[in-house]
Amino acid sequence: MKNIVVVGSQWGDEGKGKIVDWLSSEADVVVRFQGGHNAGHTLVIDGVTYKLRLLPSGIVRKNKISIIGNGVVVDPWALLDEIKEIKSKGVRVDENNLILSESADLILPFHKEMDEIREDAAGKDKIGTTRRGIGPAYEDKIGRRSIRVMDLVSESNLEHRLETALIHHNAIRKGLGKKILEKNQIKKDLLKIAPEILKFSQPVWKKIDEYKSKGKKILFEGAQGILLDVDHGTYPFVTSSNTVASSAATGTGCGPSSINYVLGITKSYTTRVGTGPFPTELTDKIGEQLGTRGKEFGTVTSRKRRCGWFDGVLVRQAIKISGIDGIALTKLDVLDELDEIKMCVSYELNKKKIDYLPVAGDDQLKVKPVYKVFKGWKSSTQGIKEFDKLPENAKIYVKEIEKFVEAKISSISTSPEREDTILIENPFKI
């Protein structure tokens, strides 16, 4: 048995969709364990594009079980819309192949409003959230005033839970001069969709234990990237959940021993959406070229991504923090036309070299990257499926990444197409 966790080793957008889709073809069960509908995966299968936000990538494949774990915050209306959208493309989605944790916390309309209110009020200090209510929903979870999936079963319980939540939210809204919320309409709207949500609801921890006992292959699918982790990322410019591999256990209700292999998806250069420190960012023509060739726009928000050179220091740090066993290197073909390619191998801070990103926000903004320069290969790698067939300079660059970040490269992606992958080792067969 081999259970795999897939995480992004940078700030997200590393190309997890393609890799997860490939792995899900071999997995029996695919599980989302954190985040919400603020991050997405784009899959292209037989010429059909699927843009998934809450649904695990396994949903588009026959005879797979897809699970949304307790660590995910769920906008129930967004979930139902996504199910409707995916069904319109001929994909079967029902209670036999989709399981939603009964303990998952719900994102409600006032969470989204609070997200927008705070971002607008923050001015130049805004975090750069997707304004989908993710942060406020997680705040309510930690504050023990959240409405969870199973609260939809009982009208009286739902009313009580809403009263508790609105005491908190209305106090803030009143202070900000915003309209006070009434619980009755919110309750009515939730009860209307409750049957459609509850039919997917099950105790996920119990189901995963059942699948483990049957020797099923389980793929735990992370959203976003390790550098957006609320504890280990570039705080406060982070998401509101733990994106590291260990949260796969917490976010689903299985022990750490359930995880046999951690795969880090790693882009051949670096991108970031929103504000926050980015030591290797390029604001010149090369940065524009990377963005254009790499089609660097968000799956969910369509926001333009900031682009820069590969930051080996950050990736190595992410690998250590998340216990990554191997990396899947993506978008190598985006670098094909460059005369030279740079990789950050250390930082300079206050005239001293350091080999990690410091925690202090001011220091993160002040660090200067120290680069190692490589000759470009100036030829196409698109569609190459064997390592030996890569241009010599591309092989040098890839091997140097592997050596520096101290993790084996298990695959190399040479185009968005699933088949255009150099497979070095299959995590399910190690």
Residues marked active site are found at 13, 41
Contact of 131 with 119, CB cutoff 8 Å = yes
Two tokens, residue 384: 């190459």
Contact of 119 with 126, CB cutoff 8 Å = yes
C-alpha atoms less than 13 angstroms from C-alpha of 91 in its C-beta half-sphere? 25
Residue 142 is inside which H or E element, if any? helix 134-142
Sign of the Cα pseudo-torsion (114, 68, 331, 264, in order): positive
Interstrand relation of 310-311 and 218-221 (parallel, antiparallel or unpaired): unpaired
Which residue type sits at 168?
A: H
Which residue type sits at 266?
A: T
Interstrand relation of 4-8 and 48-52 (parallel, antiparallel or unpaired): unpaired
Contact of 133 with 112, CB cutoff 8 Å = yes
Cis omega (within 30 of 0) for bond into 236: yes
Residue in the block written with tokens 């307790």: 70
